Chains A and B, each alone.
Chain A
Amino acid sequence: MPVETTASGIPIYAVPALGPALPEIIMAVGVLALVLYGALRGERSTGVVTAAAIALMAFTLGFVLTMPAETQITFADAFITDGFARFMKALVLIGAIVALAMSREHFRRAGIDRYEYPLLILLAAIGMMVMISANDLIALYLGLELQSLAAYVIASFHRDNARSTEAGLKYFVLGALASGMLLYGSSLVYGFTGSVSFPEIAAVLTEGANPGVIFGLVFIAAGLAFKVSAVPFHMWTPDVYQGAPTPVTAFFASAPKVAAMALAVRVFMGAFLTIVDQWQQIIVFIAVASMFLGAFAAIGQRDIKRLMAYSSIANIGFALLGLAAGTQQGVEAVLVYMAIYMVMTLGVFACILAMRRGGVELETIDDLAGTARTHPGFAFAMAMLMLSLAGIPPLAGFIGKYYAFWAAVEAGLVVFAVLGVIASVVGAYYYLRIAKIIYFDEPVGAYEPMPGFLRGVMAVSAVFTVGFWLVPAPLVAAAGVAARSLF
């Protein structure tokens, strides 16, 4: 494309269209305003900034949902918005809003309710939206770094707590290593295809992949596997989940996972779809390994946050199985799975946040003993969420797994789908054990009254998991539309 130049030969580029990126721009401008407000008002502004951050994300959510569904590309092909981006951005924003709203009460009691927390969540949300809309390797990396840097900081947000700072440091060091691998892979892909843009990489790869690209692809896959905490790059997950303050863990387990999966779909389905046979084995391996490690390692855990960490590793394995299929049906399975997973996870964390007695946070699964007698509603919701995570029909978790396995079977990965079913049976043991502790063990004592918002999140999540099979159409149809926009 010839570019106009000035008299001295300096090229003149037009300012790109900003319309498709308006949600991100609204968020970024909002963050800057809130940073100023917080800095001027000081610690007193925490309540206002939190409320404003939630309102900003809710407004952006509405904006994203009303955006036209057709594919638009801007910023020199670096940014893409389509049905897939709309679906994933909506999920991520909902996750971030709920996680932020659940945090306030907890932080106030821990004495760490500072106005920077909502700001960092907002910045992380922008990073996730950039990841979802990434259409080239540079946008991918910048979005990932924006989200990750904010995540490292909020992991050690309880800075006087040794475990929290340790979690932040571990996450930071291992995350930097993963970013390094991702960058190295990107540089190889750029070097061997001559482009950083996903469509152009895909166009070059139709002639077949050369070994350099495949090396790059392996490194990119390793970096992304770290971000979604898939085996063998999962080691940070249990420590970070346990060490970080519980509302932060709730955030980590929900929105960033969804965004990282979206990014994986963009990379593998966007840039590397033509060499699906090259990456399918990698994704299948990390999917199966994650499912089994998540299922077996969680059995010995007494700490509920560590248990949820292993549960999230296993769940990512099931979602990756859908991605490994490399088909439109597979992408649809990933979307449905991540949506259901996020709702269940937020519900479980609402329950975990409600586990307090005498002003102390309770973190072991034995503290759930006998809650069926002291808090029947709580116990029912928690038990249903656990059964759903275990994949018991007809709860929502079963339907998500069903979609993922079906996509894998259709793509000819029958053996791995069977392995997935086995892993899910193994995993059912520890989920069912929690249900058993809740219903059949002797109660140890009542919890403090549950804050209203947590109660609401728990109820919505439980109703969703129990009733999803009655009206699955809206979510499944939306996921279908979103998946179609990629092909």
Chain B
Amino acid sequence: MTVTAAFFYLFAGITVASAIMVIAARNPVHSVLYLILAFVNSAGLFILLGAEFLAMILIVVYVGAVAVLFLFVIMLLDVDFAELRQGALQYLPIGTVVGIIFLVELILVLTTYAFDPALLNLPAAAERQTGVTNTAQLGSVIYTKYVYFFQLSGLILLVAMIGAIVLTLRDRPGVKRQDAAKQAARTRETSIEVRKVNSREGV
């Protein structure tokens, strides 16, 4: 139990610290790298919970695809993020004060309240009870018990796709594209014109 707790605090601490560095780092590329660190540590937290499928998905999808895409976008955009962030950091002192006030209030309220011990003893991982891997468990609920949420998420992704196309896709006239059908349909008659050219007159 203590080893688990130690790892929990390790992963959680690094996650929070790297999340702060994401917004504090001067170089946007460093920000993305810190974001990746935060993702990897969150994956560690999932493994502690016994949710290894989620952990792997987090690494494959978020680290492998999303974060790398971020890196590409940052490199391609060539936006001077450091300059953009200059303004944001000006408000840091006020934000910190407000945040500390909130934190103190939260602590004051929560320390005056005794936690229900039953809440702390809730079983964290389903696998320990049933002996079924959580990939199999997910498989058994996604299309049955949670089909509603699953399909709704699909619709949300559809909106994102339609939205991206609506807002960015433009028909540029004059762009030359390869059209295989057109190429195959060409015949000698449609593409070659035989002209009789008289000597010294030109076409």
* Contact (Cβ within 8 A) B140 A11: yes
Nearest B residue to A152 by beta-carbon distance?
B163
Among B36-44, B79-87, B141-149, B174-182, the stretch in contact with A: B141-149
Nearest B residue to A138 by beta-carbon distance?
B149
Whether a CB of chain A sits under 8 angstroms from the CB of B106 is: yes
120-151 of chain A: CB within 8 A of chain B: 120, 123, 126-127, 130, 138-139, 142-143, 145-146, 149-150
What CA separation (Å) do A192 and B158 show in the bound complex? 34
Which listed residue (B112, B119, B137) contacts A10, Cβ 8 A? B137
Nearest CB in chain A: distance from B69 CB, A: 18
Which listed residue (A10, A120, A168, A191) contacts B140, Cβ 8 A? A10
Question: Which residues does chain B contribute within 8 Å of A16, judged by CB atoms?
Answer: 144-145, 147-148
* Contact (Cβ within 8 A) A146 B155: yes
Whether a CB of chain A sits under 8 angstroms from the CB of B167 is: yes
Nearest CB in chain A: distance from B160 CB, A: 6
Q: Known A16-B145, A212-B110; judge A153-B152 contact (CB<8 A).
A: no
What CA separation (Å) do A119 and B155 show in the bound complex? 12
What CA separation (Å) do A127 and B155 show in the bound complex? 9
Question: Which residues does chain B contribute within 8 Å of A192, judged by CB atoms?
Answer: 119
Nearest A residue to B118 by beta-carbon distance?
A194
Whether a CB of chain B sits under 8 angstroms from the CB of A211 is: yes
Judged by DSSP, the binding face of A is helix
* Contact (Cβ within 8 A) A76 B146: yes
Nearest A residue to B162 by beta-carbon distance?
A116
Could you say which of B146, B152, B156 has the most chain A C-beta atoms within 10 Å of its C-beta?
B152
Nearest CB in chain B: distance from A50 CB, A: 15
Which listed residue (B132, B159, B160) contacts A8, Cβ 8 A? B132
* Contact (Cβ within 8 A) A9 B156: no
Whether a CB of chain A sits under 8 angstroms from the CB of B130 is: yes
Q: Known A10-B137, A152-B163, A212-B110; judge A123-B155 contact (CB<8 A).
A: yes
Nearest CB in chain B: distance from A17 CB, A: 11
> What sequence of 0s and 1s flags, for each residue 73-99 of chain A, a beta carbon within 8 Å of any chain B beta carbon?
001101100000000000000000000
* Contact (Cβ within 8 A) A28 B148: no
Which listed residue (A12, A79, A153, A156) contacts B159, Cβ 8 A? A153
Nearest CB in chain A: distance from B143 CB, A: 8
Question: Which residues does chain B contribute within 8 Å of A191, judged by CB atoms?
Answer: 119
Whether a CB of chain A sits under 8 angstroms from the CB of B109 is: yes
* Contact (Cβ within 8 A) A78 B149: yes
Nearest A residue to B155 by beta-carbon distance?
A146
Could you say which of A76, A152, A168 has the most chain B C-beta atoms within 10 Å of its C-beta?
A76
Whether a CB of chain B sits under 8 angstroms from the CB of A487 is: no
Question: Which residues does chain B contribute within 8 Å of A9, judged by CB atoms?
Answer: 130-132
What CA separation (Å) do A12 and B130 show in the bound complex? 13
Whether a CB of chain A sits under 8 angstroms from the CB of B122 is: yes
What CA separation (Å) do A126 and B165 show in the bound complex? 20
